[in-house]
Amino acid sequence: MTKLSVNINKIATLRNARGSSNPNVIQMAQDCERFGADGITIHPRPDERHITTQDAYELSRIVTTEFNIEGYPDARFMKLIAELKPDQVTLVPDPPEVLTSNTGWDTVKNKGFLSEIIQELRLSGARISVFCNPEISMVEGAAKIEANRIELYTGPYAQDFVQNPVQALRSFVEAADVAKKMALGVNAGHDLDLQNLKYLKKGIPYLAEVSIGHALFCDALYYGIENTIQMYKRQLQ
Has 43 been annotated as catalytic?
yes
Has 50 been annotated as catalytic?
no
Residue 158 to residues 68, 89, 226: CA-CA distances in angstroms? 22, 24, 24
Question: CA–CA separation, 218 vs 201, rounded Å?
Answer: 21
Q: What is the DSSP string of 69-126?
A: EEE---HHHHHHHHHH--SEEEE----TT-SS--S---TTTTHHHHHHHHHHHGGGT-
User: Which of 33, 66, 190, 209 does the annotation list as catalytic?
Assistant: 190
How far out from the chain centre does Cα 133 lie? 13
Has 48 been annotated as catalytic?
no
User: Which of 33, 50, 66, 70 does the annotation list as catalytic?
Assistant: 70
User: Which of 43, 50, 66, 151 does the annotation list as catalytic?
Assistant: 43
191 close to 215: Cβ distance less than 8 angstroms: yes
The number of CA neighbours under 13 Å toward the Cβ of 179 is: 31
Three-class secondary structure of residue 21 per DSSP: coil
Three-class secondary structure of residue 164 per DSSP: coil
DSSP lists the bridge partners of residue 186 as: 150
Question: CA–CA separation, 9 vs 28, rounded Å?
Answer: 11
176 close to 202: Cβ distance less than 8 angstroms: no
Active-site positions read: 43, 70, 190
